Amino acid sequence: MTISGLEVSTGYQIKGYIKIEMDGQIYTSYGGLWGVGTNGLDLDIREISTNGTEMVLTGHDYAPVEGITEYGFCWTTDETVAVPDMKNFIKASAIDENNNFKATITGLTPNTKYYVGVYAKIGDKIYYDDGRWDPTTKGIPTIDSNPSPGKKD
């Protein structure tokens, strides 16, 4: 038996049963309750570089699942905003043969911290990695008003 239409990163409880007809009566017997879950997305930001007012991001999908129609990044300057609540989005390039995808965020303000998240879209739903990257904890550079080549803050 195949159950289809399940959501990514979701837990389900399944209970099996059998129906038997005996002496004109139908009897139903239920089995135990099974807990199962669908595979979650395993996204990460692999590399970030800056050149003044741009940030080039490379993401990675460690376990691509069927049905992903879009990868991308989201960002904010508000350190209190969680990844799913970020309002700025950019769609990334198509995933390559190494499961990497890229995007360039432009028009950023120099000397500003940017907090970045990564997402994948399946149908109308957006799934976020539960991580949140910022310049101090994950090595994402603060955009510098006078960057030197290859400089990372």
Helix/strand/coil percentages in the chain, nearest 5:
0, 50, 50
Tokens of 1: 């038996």
- Please report how many Cα atoms fall inside a 13 Å half-sphere around the Cα of residue 49, on the Cβ side: 7
Q: pLDDT at position 35, please?
A: 59
Q: Which residue has the higher pLDDT, 150 or 50?
A: 50
Q: Which residue has the tokens 């017997």?
A: 29
Tokens of 139: 């090595």
Comparing 60-64, 104-108, 130-134, 138-142, the range with the smallest average pLDDT is 138-142
Q: What is the SS3 assignment for 2?
A: coil
Q: Which residue has the higher pLDDT, 2 or 49?
A: 49
40-79: per-residue pLDDT in tens? Answer: 678 888 888 877 688 888 999 887 878 889 999 988 888 7
Q: Which residue has the tokens 């050149």?
A: 51
Q: CB–CB of 10/38 below 8 Å?
A: yes
17-42: per-residue pLDDT in tens? Answer: 788 888 888 878 777 666 555 556 78
Q: pLDDT at position 42, please?
A: 80
Q: Which residue has the higher pLDDT, 121 or 133?
A: 121
Q: What is the SS3 assignment for 113?
A: coil
CA-based angle 73:95:43, to the nearest 5? 50
The distance in angstroms from the start CA to the end CA of the chain is 54
- Average pLDDT rounded to a whole number, residues 79-98: 86
Tokens of 77: 């300057």
CA-based angle 120:61:88, to the nearest 5? 35
Res 83 pLDDT > 90: no
Q: What is the DSSP letter of 51?
A: S
